[in-house]
Amino acid sequence: MIRSLQHCHRIVVKIGTSSLIHKNGKVNLQTIDRLAYTLAALNNQDYEVVLVSSGAIGVGLDKMHLTERPAAIAEQQAIAAVGQGELLRLYIQRFSDYDTQVGQMLLTHDTFDYPVSRQHVLDTLETLLQRSIVPIINENDTVAVDEMDHRTTFGDNDQLSALVASRIDADLLLVLSDIDGLYDADPHKFQNARKLEAVTHLGQDILQAAGGSSTRFGTGGMVTKLKAAQTMMQAGKAMVLCSGADPRVILRVLAGEDVGTWFGKNTATLNA
């Protein structure tokens, strides 16, 4: 199946912590550099690109020479405060190497729950995109806590990226993760596990499998990705889930190659 993306113009890219941090806890500088290169290249081709990046706590742990994530919320938020600044510094440095400006936006769920603040955020995003500045979005981990009548947390950046993508009418959401697509079984356990090239309908069978313990979906990470895909599909848009090991895979996706798993009602064309 060759995907035609000639009408794709506005893209949201989400990258997870596992793609940004090595297994030893150190920051994966090569991934950050390749991500900056790829998004800068797209920016130069007049694509409108938004980056939703996890990694604040992971980078913070490395910066503070810690090996384990503390249990206390206040300590986690302090680490996120350190990590977010360092993560942004790395992004600014790498994007500057490719002559591309970035702008940081830290959001909470309250921002989208209230019409006035939601509109301000959307206006800011539009202005950044009009000026060819790449917005870098993350949840504001230093203040995001669910308590009383405030729903501040998104729960994960998969949900945040889908919410942003649908709100700004993005053509495509690209989710870069430590998995290269959606499988019909756990490929670590079953040699005949088959990666699904395309999903045109998210039925209860797939959603239930994502929460089961007998498949790779049991980690819970796939559940949030399927929910993000569902949000995009309900908005009449598409999502691609693929490996974030080398962010230059984004260029292959946009070239129409069969990379990862495509979620969308029409798997042949996008906004044709």
Q: What is the pLDDT along the chain (272 residues), one digit of tens a residue?
A: 546 576 789 999 999 999 999 999 999 999 999 999 999 999 999 999 999 999 999 999 999 999 899 889 899 899 999 999 999 999 999 999 999 999 999 998 888 888 999 999 999 999 999 999 999 999 987 776 554 344 455 567 999 999 999 999 999 999 999 889 998 877 777 888 888 899 998 877 776 666 543 333 323 478 889 999 999 999 999 999 999 999 999 999 999 898 999 999 754 444 43
The reply to whether 270 falls in a domain is no
Q: How far is CA 196 from CA 35, 73, 188, 227, 259, in A?
A: 25, 38, 16, 17, 10
For the annotated binding site for substrate, the residues are 54, 141, 157
Report d(CA 162, CA 158) in Å as an integer: 6
Please tell me the predicted confidence (pLDDT) of residue 186.
74
| CA nearest neighbour of 256 among 244, 245, 272 | 272
- Chain centroid, CA 264 distance in Å: 17
Q: How far is CA 76 from CA 56, 58, 64, 103, in A?
A: 10, 10, 12, 24
Please tell me the predicted confidence (pLDDT) of residue 268.
45
The reply to whether 5 falls in a domain is no
Q: Which two tokens stand for residue 40?
A: 């800068």
The reply to whether 211 falls in a domain is yes
The reply to whether 271 falls in a domain is no
Residue tagged 């356990």 (tokens): 189
Report d(CA 201, CA 203) in Å as an integer: 6
> Is the CB of residue 59 less than 8 Å from the CB of residue 16?
no
* Pairing assessment for the beta strands 10-15 and 198-199 based on DSSP bridges: unpaired
For the annotated binding site for ATP, the residues are 14, 177-178, 219-225
Residue tagged 């800011």 (tokens): 124
Angle between helices 221-234 and 157-167 (to 10 degrees): 10
The reply to whether 53 falls in a domain is yes
Which domain covers residue 22, as residue numbers? Answer: 10-263
Could you give phi then psi for residue 113, rounded to 5 degrees?
Answer: -75, -30
The reply to whether 42 falls in a domain is yes
The reply to whether 272 falls in a domain is no
For the annotated binding site, the residues are 14, 54, 141, 157, 177-178, 219-225
**Residues facing 106 on adjacent strands:** 138
The reply to whether 167 falls in a domain is yes
Query: What single-letter amino acid sits at 249?
Result: V
Residue 243 sits in a domain whose CATH number is 3.40.1160.10
Domains identified in the chain, total number: 1
Please tell me the predicted confidence (pLDDT) of residue 125.
98
| Extended strands (E) in the chain | 10-15, 48-53, 102-107, 134-139, 172-177, 198-199, 238-243, 261-263
